[in-house]
Amino acid sequence: MAAVEGEANFDVPAAGKPCKTWYKVYGDLTSRTHRPLVVLHGGPGSTHHYVSTLSELYRLYSIPVILYDQLGNGLSTHLPEKNGDTAFWTVQLFIDELHNLLTHLGIHDDYALLGQSWGGMLAACFAVQQPVGLKKLVIANSPASMPLWVEVANELKRELPQAVQDTLNKHEAAGTILEKEYRDATQVFYDRHLCRIQPMPKPLADSFEWMDKDPTVYLTMNGPTEFHIIGSLKAWSVIDDLHKIQVSTLLLNGRYDEAQDKVVLPFFQRIPSAKWVQFSESAHVPHIEETERYMTIVGAYLNDN
């Protein structure tokens, strides 16, 4: 599929240097025959690579798809000097970046959003501000609050083999989370609850490789793993504001997902117009694990005006 890459200048005075947001567009944004979809990747601190499968929505349904790397990640401007700077890496920073990208692309008056994992958290925070032009929202594999996420992650962690739990607990207590033994134990959790396809599909592996090269955003906002949350998002919650989301919303998660039903339920209960679909053979990335069904469901939802 033909795609166009570009960069949007993003003015961030606190960054101390010029910043750019890298993006890739599948389809023609000027035709307006189909509403464009902007995809917000997870992390925080991941990249567009693992959600690149969503470009299939253009091939199958002619829905223009915009992928981009959030500031600090992938092909966008990196700011490793801001590692640990919680005053800089905020949810509002990424909301501002999204507004800037929508304006740059000329689609701020009519678009849909799909946020995956952290991207869904960001999309929810964006949507509660009731931005002009947002017509449809997909929140995929995302929690409505980080305390709920941690609670569920610890429940899933207790289901791991005892030796794996002991290794994780030992290194987390000692602060030796960069040790190979800890990373290997973490992978056992990911094989169950992140992606059940083995070996790890290349797009997902590519995103992890980018995160390993520059973990600034992930370590500052999240922490070292999906279940050891010590970053600035550890108390984050959007639950009390969900009633402000006035657009049609599709909720997605996997049966084996890190985002278990308990963390998705507040979205369903509090967003006035929400539909929820679960993928029975998937963990955290059903767009990779059950691609065909995923595209059918999301494509039909987005094309139903």
DSSP string computed for 127-169: HHT--TTEEEEEEES--SBHHHHHHHHHHHHTTS-HHHHHHHH
Q: How far is CA 48 from CA 1, 74, 165, 227, in A?
A: 17, 8, 31, 22
- Retrieve residue 282's tokens: 């998937």
Q: Give the Cα separation of 288 and 51 in Å (integer).
A: 8
Q: Which of 48, 257, 282, 287 is catalytic?
A: 257
Q: Is 48 a catalytic residue?
A: no
Q: Assign residue 170 a region (left: φ > 0; alpha: ψ between -120 and 50; beta: otherwise).
A: alpha
Provide Rg for the chain, Cα atoms: 18
Q: In what order do the strands lie in the sheet with 111-116?
A: 3-10, 19-26, 65-68, 37-40, 111-116, 134-140, 248-254, 274-279
The reply to whether 287 belongs to the active site is no
Q: For tokens 């990249």, name the residue.
A: 47
Task: Judge contact between 252 and 141, C-beta under 8 A.
Answer: yes
Strands (E), the chain: 3-10, 19-26, 37-40, 65-68, 111-116, 134-140, 248-254, 274-279
Active site residue 145: no
Considering 55, 76, 117, 248, which one is annotated as catalytic? 117
Cβ atoms of 229 and 149 within 8 Å: the answer is: yes
Among the listed residues 160, 120, 157, 159, the one whose alpha carbon sits nearest the alpha carbon of residue 137: 120
In angstroms, the CA 283 to CA 17 distance is 39
Residues annotated as catalytic are 117, 257, 284
